Homo-oligomer: A and B are copies of this chain.
Amino acid sequence: MKQLKIIKIGGGIIDDAASLAQFLHLFAQVDGPKILVHGGGKGASEMLRALGIAPQLVNGRRITDAATLDTVTMFYAGKTNKAIVAGLQQNRVNALGLSGADGNVIRAVKRPVREIDYGFVGDLTPAGVDAALLGALLGLGLTPVICAITHDGQGQLLNTNADTIAATVAVALSEKFVVELHYCFEKNGVLLDVNDDNSVIEKINLTSYAELKEAGIIADGMIPKLDNSFDALSQGVSKVIIGHALKINDSLKTVLCLN
């Protein structure tokens, strides 16, 4: 099977035009077929405020009412996605921007209301991803650039977590490709000492992950991120790599695998 790299970037890199330009230049040098998944950055919250829509967050998650959905769709699928696509074209990468609605590539389900009504938020399963179409687009030499908006197939767009999109697309494409899933952020990897950016743990497998959690070295926000990563590995993704967005072609990074 062919290799495929799915690379997810978050807000920090998107908020700063110079960092984004530097990242896109590095991304252009990544070999082989690849997909970029991006979140939105702080700009969406600033724009909500400029339009007089107060951002509502519960447990760090945005509550997406109709006005918020309109705005994040404009921001993620319009401004951020097209800035990335145009920047990649400048770097001679034939990027194609996609929301989940485009080509029906990611069909989601509106999150059921339990204690909290998250509003127009999409939950995903690998079955909702059209791996055949994404494979065909890659086969045309295109590099899909996927934003954090999906749809339900009934005309409703849905705000969807970009980490989850990256993992779900990675699992779905594992049927056709040997998939490496890269989570890029502002640290060099998973750190032994959170205050020492050079203390990168080079490799974590299921056994060492349990030990690192037990020892309290991996804690807090890293736990759901790594839980989701091991979940993706158990569903067919070959490797998950966690590292710095501006060092994607360096060897300094954390590689997660099952064994």
Cβ-defined contact, A102 with B90, below 8 A? no
Cβ-defined contact, B89 with A155, below 8 A? yes
Q: With A82-B157, A156-B86, A157-B82 as known contacts, state yes or no: A142 contacts B73, CB within 8 Å.
A: no
Interface: A5 (CB within 8 A)? no
Cβ-defined contact, B81 with A151, below 8 A? no
Contact with B along A73-112 (1 / 0, CB 8 A): 1111111011101110110001111110111100000000
Bound-state CA distance A151–B90 (Å) is 10
Interface: A11 (CB within 8 A)? no
Copies in the complex: 2
Interface: A259 (CB within 8 A)? no
Bound-state CA distance A79–B69 (Å) is 10
Cβ-defined contact, A94 with B104, below 8 A? yes
CB distance from A147 to the nearest CB of B (A): 9
Residues from chain B with a CB closer than 8 A to the CB of A73 are 78-79, 82
Bound-state CA distance A101–B79 (Å) is 12
Cβ-defined contact, A154 with B90, below 8 A? yes
Point out the residue from B81, B133, B140, B157 that lies within 8 Å of A133, measured CB to CB.
B140
Interface: A32 (CB within 8 A)? no
Cβ-defined contact, A102 with B74, below 8 A? no
Give me 7 other A-B pairs in contact (C-beta within 8 A), A76-B78, A77-B77 excluded.
Answer: A73-B79, A74-B74, A77-B78, A82-B99, A90-B153, A95-B101, A97-B97
Some 30 contacts from A to B, beta carbons below 8 A apart, are A50-B50, A50-B51, A73-B82, A74-B78, A74-B79, A76-B78, A77-B77, A77-B78, A77-B81, A77-B82, A78-B78, A78-B79, A82-B102, A83-B157, A85-B101, A85-B102, A85-B151, A86-B157, A87-B155, A89-B155, A90-B153, A90-B154, A94-B104, A95-B101, A95-B102, A96-B98, A96-B103, A97-B99, A97-B102, A103-B142
